[in-house]
Structure 1
């Protein structure tokens, strides 16, 4: 009976050692899997942080480019307005000179036919002076509208180009 107990004890010790090796293998496998998962999670987090940083940098680049486009448009509008003011001043001087010329066209004299022709010429000169003034004013309005539309279009294009890499 003694040998049976010894054999049973050895068999039990053998089974216990196998069980221990098996459990050790499982714990090593779990530790390896946890290390792999930790490495993967760390890499994922790093990629996420780098992605966020790159997205913020791109957003800042776009915002800066749009701000530059807005500032350039404002500067161009200022230059355009100054040019329009200068053109208005020149136009006003031209109108004044045309009015003076129209007023001096009449021919003073004793010949009634010459006086009548002078009065007709004065009326024609006044009409032409008025027509010139209205045409010049309308041309100035159209030029201002064109400049504003062109500047707005260029600003829109620059803003769009800032959004595309």
Structure 2
């Protein structure tokens, strides 16, 4: 029986050694998988941080581009307002001169035909002066509306370009 017990013992030792080798292989495989997973996770975190940093920089670049477009539009509005004020003053001078001219057209005299012609010319000059005043006022309104629309359109274009273009 001794030989049989020795054989069983050897068989058990052999099985135990195979089991130990198997368990060692599994633990090495798990350690390698954990290392690969850790490297992947580390790379993912690094990519996430780099991506967040890039996104933040892009957001700041876009915000700066929008702010620059707003500031530029405000400068243009200021310039347009100054130009409009100058144009309004020039228009007022023109209207005043037209009214003075219309007032001086009348020709007083003794000839009734000349007086009638003078009164008709005065009325015509007053109508033309009024027409000039209204046309000038309307032109000023249209110029102001055009300037505002142009400035808003340019601001929109600059903001769009700032948002859509990469540095």
- TM-score w.r.t. length of structure 2: 0.92
Matches within 5 A, 1:13-162: 13-162=13-162
Query: Could you tell me how far 1:110 is from its partner in structure 2?
Result: 2.6
Please state how far the C-alpha of 1:20 moved relative to its aligned partner: 1.3
Q: Distance in 2 between matches of 1:161 and 1:146?
A: 22
C-alpha distance after superposition, 1:73-132 (max 9, x if no partner): 111111111111100000000111111111111223332222222222111111111110
User: What SS does the aligned partner of 1:108 have?
Assistant: coil
SS of the counterpart of 1:19?
helix
Structure 1 stretches lacking a partner, 5+ long: none
Q: Which segments of 5 or more consecutive residues in structure 2 lack a partner in the other structure?
A: none
Following superposition, the deviation at residue 133 of structure 1 comes to 0.3
Q: How many residues align structurally?
A: 165
Runs of 4+ in 1 over 6 A off after TM superposition: none
Q: What is the CA distance between 1:49 and its match in structure 2?
A: 1.4
Q: CA deviation at 1:36?
A: 0.5
Which secondary structure does the structure 2 equivalent of 1:86 belong to? helix
**CA drift at 1:68:** 1.3
**Matches of 2:95 and 2:2 in 1, distance apart?**
137
Which residue number in structure 2 is paired with residue 164 of structure 1?
A: 164
TM-score normalised per structure 1: 0.93
Residues 41-70 of structure 1, C-alpha deviations (whole Å, 9 max, x = no match): 111111111111111111111111111111
